[in-house]
Amino acid sequence: MTQTSNNLASDSWAIADLLRGDFKQSQYGRIILPFCLLRRLECVLEATKDAVLAEYEKVQAMNLPEEAQEKLLLRATKVGEHQLSFYNTSKMNLFKLTESQIKADLESYIQSFSKDAREIFEYFNFAEFIGQLNDANLLYKVVQKVRTIDLSPKAVSNHDMGLVFEELIRRFAEGSNETAGEHFTPRDIVRLTTSLVFMEDDEALTKSGIIRTIYDPTAGTGGFLSAGMEYVHELNPNAVMRAYGQELNPESYAICKADMLIKGQEVGNIKLGNTLSNDQLHATKFDYMLSNPPFGVDWKKIEDDIVREHTEKGFDGRFGAGLPRVSDGSLLFLLHLISKLRDAKDGGGRIGIILNGSPLFTGGAGSGESEIRRYILEADLLEAIVALPTDMFYNTGIATYVWVLSNKKAATRKNQVQLINGANLCGKMRKSLGSKRNEMSSDDIATITKCFGNFEVVDARELDKPADAKSNRGRQSANPKTEVAKTFAAKIFKTHEFGYRRITIERPLRQSYQFSDERIATLRFESGALNSVMQWAYAEFANLPNAIWSDAPDCAHYGDLSNHEEAIRRYIKTHFADLKEKQIKDLLDRSTWTSTKATMLKAKALQAQIGTAQSDDMNGYEDVVSKAAKAASISLDAKDKKAIEAAVSWKNPEAHAVIKKLHKAKADPVYGLFEGVGEHAGKTIEYKADSDLRDFENVALDPGRSVNEVNEAYFKKEVQPHVPDAWIDASKKDDKDQQIGIVGYEIPFNRHFYQYQPPRDLAEIDADLDAVSAEIMKLLQEVHS
């Protein structure tokens, strides 16, 4: 920022001296920004003021609609080859405003601006602040102060005026710490991200006649748009950068639009609204995109719109790759940006987006998040991810990352991703601003951009950074833990190295059964939600005088709760509040009780035939039960069989494996087809799987070998030696390639840069414990004495 720009910003912010006492510090910007905008617009319009007023007299007589009037009046703002995008039809200016009717005249003056300029003041709620200033007798004093600042194009170019406005925005944001992060990205992060996105095109941007577009779907106050234009201006003052953006917050939208108006941009390209549910630039592609979307914000309110686009449009829309969980919409913004990349055949585009750690690894194989990462990596769009220091943003101190994406990768970067660990590249701020306690210097930014530009691997290199200050509160250890040195490092990976296949590992179900009295007794009650309350009701009402429930088939009282409904409902309300009305009615229905009793009596009849001995081979269970039922002359329906089997059987690791099916196919133990032994010799056995023993293994992708070859090699090395009876479930296949195993992608950034720190020596720990124990004993002795 030039010295002139600095001085102008300071002069403009000096208005705050008038506001002190009558307004909160967080309100200063809401007054100063629109007043400075007003003064700049007035200065810019001065050269064409008379021509516009003359044209306005002619247009008024034509009785045209506003849009038609605007087109005619804009012609009058042309100076040489340059035509302005706004005008004002009032004969007033800030010097002609009188103290006696300052409020009415100022409001009339603002209403005389063209639509886009007028809208900015409306979203600033400027009329409300004009009223408050007038009530405090400060309005005329502020106007007097503002009109003395020379913001004419001759004194201040569009570029320098943009710098002035950015500085005012920064002061405004820092003066309202509690909300700064919602509409303002710290300048150091903006500079870093902008450099990473633009540096690959430095050569192209220095050529003559360059026209490029820049876009931010979460524009905030326009910091990224301004930084992009500033970066290109420094390389090539004659290059044309057209800015586009969309912002949800009306006040931030007003500031951004004002900043673009001051810089001479087409303010119609800045839109208000929710980017995800209502993309107002849906048909436009861009050269450069920068964004700092909100971290961890859910998209429940717009879920219907997003899901509809995903299901109906697929990859013809923005969200064909997948949908993340509704609690975090960060990856939706990333997909939105990818859909906006200019086609590679037209020159391609590049993206810089700031995300928290969640998009790196949240969601397992097959989840929406994993499928989005899969799409990005398999399409070879990701160039680099840079880990930022913590405590870098105004409203959060969490770990954050800059993702750099492009559909025009250099040949050296093809099918590769660079991870840069810049988590220690920062210094402490002299004064914290909200949660922002750290800042990156120009040297820190240069270290990262140089590493990215050279596409190099950097082994952990110790940085010349002071150690973090430790708290001196409480008892200090005599042998403190050695601090890990602050380092900088970078690594390069093949895109497939972030992928894996999640294969399902099954083991056979092993069960025993026993027709014991205890197990048969459990059939008296339903096995689901009614089980506990039925046990209570049976204990409470089955043995009442004159209404004893017996197991005799013809017992008239069994299950009759008609005289106890009120007491039961009262008890349920207190102890089983989750029960639904239908379930309560089932409990009170006598048929529920007689049905379970009938099943229990059948089990007892089977017991008389089978006996009470335990059997560890479930494979003969059905034959045993069938023969016993026939001998006892009882019939068992499917419900009876299911209930009795559940009651008398249990999982037992020492029991025989339960056979699901016999095959004639060749045995293949890797996929669950085992050679038969004993009575099944010569046949191939498929066992039932035990869902409780089901496990999953993540097998690294290896494009050099077939999927089955990779899976089987992993299984034989890592699984089979430990659990010989396990197998791979070949039915679990990936939806896209139909190969065994579900493909997943994650980027475990911290794991790749983990620095091992050996534990302290046991002798040192013992010495510390002895010292603490002695200190405690001494204190206790003092208490007792």
Own/partner pairs, 407-412, CB within 8 angstroms, 24+ separation: 407/341, 407/343, 407/344, 407/348, 407/349, 407/379, 407/381, 408/344, 408/347, 408/348, 408/349, 408/350, 409/380, 409/383, 410/200, 410/455, 412/455
Instruction: Write the secondary structure of 193-255 as one string of H (helix), E (strand) and C (coil).
Output: HHHHHHHHHHHHHCCCCCEEEEEECCCCCCHHHHHHHHHHHHHCCCCEEEEEEEECCHHHHHH
User: Which two tokens mark 600?
Assistant: 């229990």
Strand boundaries in 495-543, DSSP class E: 499-506, 511-513
Task: Copy the structure tokens of residue 495.
Answer: 């895109």
So what's the pLDDT on residue 209?
78
pLDDT digit string, tens, across residues 701-760: 999 999 999 999 999 999 999 999 999 999 999 999 999 999 999 999 999 998 877 888
Token readout for 310 is: 């995903």
- Residue 344: CB atoms within 10 Å: 12
Specify the pTM: 0.85
Residues of the chain with pLDDT under 50: 1-3, 178-181
Token pair for 144: 């007097």
Burial of 478 (0-12, 13-18, 19+ CB in 10 A): exposed
Q: DSSP states of 669-714 as a string?
A: GGGTBEE--GGGTTSEEEEPB-GGG-EEEEEEP-TTS-HHHHHHHH
Q: What are the residues facing 329 on neighbouring strands? A: none
**Can you give the pLDDT at residue 1?**
45
For helices 139-147 and 28-45, the axis angle rounded to 10 degrees is 50
Rg (CA), the chain: 37
Distance (Å, rounded) from C-alpha 171 to C-alpha 115? 28
pLDDT, position 311: 95
Q: Are 742 and 365 in contact (CB under 8 A)?
A: yes
The pLDDT value recorded for residue 483 is 67
Q: Is 655 within 8 Å of 510 (Cβ atoms)?
A: yes
Number of helical H runs and strand E runs in the chain: 30, 23
How far is residue 321's CA from residue 318's CA, in Å, rounded to a whole number?
8
pLDDT of residue 3: 46
